[in-house]
C-alpha cells in the first residue's frame, strides 16, 4: 500500500519556520514532484514524509495509520521495508566500498548476507556506468559518481516508495536519463511511488502531481500527466 498523508505539518527549527502548515496526500503509484526555491522546505518535507524527521506539529499517516506514537523501532522498520532514499548529500558510508554501500539496505532487510545481493548490486552499478568503481571507497569518487551510488542503493530493495532529494543535481545528462528511465519503468511495472524534491523543471514532465513550495507553504498543487 503505502499511502502517505501529511496533515497541517509544521517544522520549526529554533524560530525558523521551515514548514508552515503543509497538507499533502500521496497515493500509491504517484510520481510527486516537490519543486521550489532553495530554502523553501523541500528537504525538510521529504524527511518528515519519509519518517526520518518528526514535525514540530501536525500528523503523518501511513496507510491511514497515525505515526506520531510509533516507536523508533517501528519507524525504522517502515523506513527499511517500504522506503528507499536518495539524500541530497548522499550519505554514503565512508568505511564501506561502493558495492557494500549499495547492497547494505538489502542486507539489513533480509537480516543475512546472500551473495546474490552482490550480483543484483552490480547490475545497478553497471546500468549507471560505475561498475568499474565497485571496490572504491566513497572518498575516491566524484560527486556525480557518489550520487549514482546513492541512486543504486535506493533501488536495491525495490521499495514501495522512493524519496529522492535533488537526485540528478550532481550527475551528467546520461546518468540523469538512466534515472528517469528507471523511475518510469519501476513506476509503471511495479507501481513504485516516487517523491522527488528538486529545482529541476525537467522532472515536471514525469509528475502525476506537482507541489509548488514557497517559504514553507504549498503555493499550489497541479495535476501532471
Ligand X SMILES: Nc1ncnc2c1ncn2[C@@H]1O[C@H](COP(=O)(O)OP(=O)(O)OP(=O)(O)O)[C@@H](O)[C@H]1O
Which residues contribute to the site for ligand X (CB under 6 A)?
13, 16, 18, 36, 38-44, 88, 199
Q: Does 40 contact Mg ion by CB under 5 A?
A: no
Applying CB under 5 A, among 40, 43, 187, 193 the residue interacting with Mg ion is: 43
Q: Are 157 and 203 in contact (CB under 8 A)?
A: no
Q: Name the 3-class secondary structure at 219.
A: strand
CB of 210 to ligand X, least distance (A): 15
- Looking at the Cβ atoms of 39 and 143, the one nearer to ligand X is 39
Per partner kind, with CB cut-offs from 5 to 8 A, the member of ligand X, Mg ion, none near residue 38 is ligand X
Q: Exposed, middle or buried: residue 147 (CB in 10 Å: 0-12, 13-18, 19+)?
A: buried
Q: Does 2 contact Mg ion by CB under 5 A?
A: no
Q: Scanning the structure block, which residue is given the C-alpha cell 546500468?
A: 127
Cell of 126: 553497471
Q: Are 212 and 218 in contact (CB under 8 A)?
A: yes
CB of 151 to ligand X, least distance (A): 17
Per partner kind, with CB cut-offs from 5 to 8 A, the member of Mg ion, ligand X, none near residue 71 is none
DSSP secondary structure letter of residue 202: G
Q: Does 47 contact Mg ion by CB under 5 A?
A: no
- Looking at the Cβ atoms of 146 and 186, the one nearer to ligand X is 146
Residues 77-106 that bind Mg ion (CB under 5 A): 88
CB atoms within 10 A of CB 189: 8
DSSP secondary structure letter of residue 156: T
Binding site for Mg ion (CB under 5 A): 42-43, 88
Amino acid at each position: 500500500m503505502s499511502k502517505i498523508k501529511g496533515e497541517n505539518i509544521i517544522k520549526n527549527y529554533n524560530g525558523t519556520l521551515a514548514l508552515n502548515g503543509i497538507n499533502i496526500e500521496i497515493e500509491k503509484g504517484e510520481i510527486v514532484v516537490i519543486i521550489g526555491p532553495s530554502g523553501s522546505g523541500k528537504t525538510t518535507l521529504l524527511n518528515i514524509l519519509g519518517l526520518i524527521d518528526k514535525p514540530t506539529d501536525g500528523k503523518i499517516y501511513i496507510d491511514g495509520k497515525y505515526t506520531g506514537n510509533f516507536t523508533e523501532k517501528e519507524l525504522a522498520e517502515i523506513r527499511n521495508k517500504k522506503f528507499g532514499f536518495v539524500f541530497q548529500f548522499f550519505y554514503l558510508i565512508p568505511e564501506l566500498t561502493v558495492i557494500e554501500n549499495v547492497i547494505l539496505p538489502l542486507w539489513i532487510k533480509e537480516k543475512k548476507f546472500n551473495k546474490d545481493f552482490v550480483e543484483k548490486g552490480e547490475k545497478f552499478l553497471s546500468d549507471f556506468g560505475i561498475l568499474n568503481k565497485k571496490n572504491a571507497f566513497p572518498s575516491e569518487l566524484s560527486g556525480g559518481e557518489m550520487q549514482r551510488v546513492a541512486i543504486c542503493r535506493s533501488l536495491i530493495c525495490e521499495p514501495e516508495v522512493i524519496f529522492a532529494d535533488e537526485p540528478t543535481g550532481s550527475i551528467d545528462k546520461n546518468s540523469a536519463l538512466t534515472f528517469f528511465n528507471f523511475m518510469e519503468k519501476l513506476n509503471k511495472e511495479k507501481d513504485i511511488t516516487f517523491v522527488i524534491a528538486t529545482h529541476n523543471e525537467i522532472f515536471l514532465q514525469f509528475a502525476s502531481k506537482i507541489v509548488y513550495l514557497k517559504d514553507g507553504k504549498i503555493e499550489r498543487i497541479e495535476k501532471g500527466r
